[in-house]
Amino acid sequence: MSRLLVFQHVAAEPLGTLDPLIRARGHRISFKNFEREPDAVPQVDRYRGLIVLGGPMNVQDHPHRAHLRHEMRAIEQMLAQGKPVLGICLGAQLLAHVLGAPVQRNPVKEIGWYELHKTAAGASDPVLAPLQARSTVFQWHGCRFDIPRSAVHLASSADCAQQAFRHGDNAYGFQFHLEMDERLIERWLATPAYRDELAGAGLAQDEHAIRAQTRQHIAGLQQQAAAVFNNFLDLVGQPQRRRTLPSREWV
């Protein structure tokens, strides 16, 4: 059975709706949880693909967060081996940094629901194609990546032009969160550190507005997200089934 490696940074940011899609394909998920094992050094050779999730830390924290350095080295190895990589939020910033692009503070934070605009390349991209030309997606970030020189720019928003990119044929960075469902959004809104960040951001969307917009947009997001994630999982391929050896007959 093939395995996908997942880097998780905090308990509040799991795979979300991506988890059942992976399991429905028959893949085994191997989590490397850096909140529990901050000094872990992941080995990537036996995995078919890598998904790097979000988290409250930033790429610039790598001098005092060893796991960020280990993650970037693992991403480099996955890219060198030609295996699919998907970075979400912090994961996308780590992927961009590995590819030589700066990661810095965005002029404003994006927290809540924002309109995403696909570029011409995004409209024809084999993974991102299911997203509408203009889609309302969930965001929670204060930093952004530049588009790496080796990558293709796929999507933007009014407050952050660098929202998605593709490197080669099978490495993707998404600044936004397609993996959300209503329960996970409520979990973030109930997490003290996240609540404090939202309250201090001075944005038009407070928690009540986010809840109202979640009821309006979540079903459409999940439908499109499932199609996007399944397209990415197509790049990973089908699980390798274990061979069943014929029973031996004794005479």
CATH value at residue 163: 3.40.50.880
Question: Is residue 122 in some structural domain?
Answer: yes
Question: Is residue 250 in some structural domain?
Answer: no
Q: What string of pLDDT tens digits covers the 251 residues of the chain?
A: 579 999 999 999 999 999 999 999 999 999 999 999 999 999 999 999 999 999 999 999 988 899 999 999 999 999 999 999 999 999 999 999 999 999 999 999 999 999 999 999 999 999 999 999 999 999 999 999 999 999 999 999 999 999 999 999 999 999 999 999 999 999 999 999 999 999 999 999 999 999 999 999 999 999 999 999 999 999 998 775 544 334 333 22
Question: Is residue 44 in some structural domain?
Answer: yes
Question: Is residue 251 in some structural domain?
Answer: no
How far from 193 is each of 45, 126, 139, CA to CA, in Å? 35, 36, 16
Give residue 112's region: left, alpha or beta (phi > 0; psi -120 to 50). Answer: left
Q: Hey, what's the torsion of the CAs at 46, 48, 49, 55, to 10 degrees?
A: -40
Question: Is residue 247 in some structural domain?
Answer: no
Question: Is residue 248 in some structural domain?
Answer: no
Domain count, the chain: 1
Question: Is residue 58 in some structural domain?
Answer: yes
Catalytic residue numbers? 89, 177, 179
Its pTM stands at 0.94
DSSP collapsed to 3 states, 29-70: EEEEECCCCCCCCCCCCCCCEEEECCCCCCHHHCCCCHHHHH
Question: Is residue 188 in some structural domain?
Answer: yes
Domain that holds residue 190: 3-236
Give the integer Cα–Cα distance in Å for 118 and 107: 21
Neighbouring CB atoms inside 10 A of 243's CB total 6
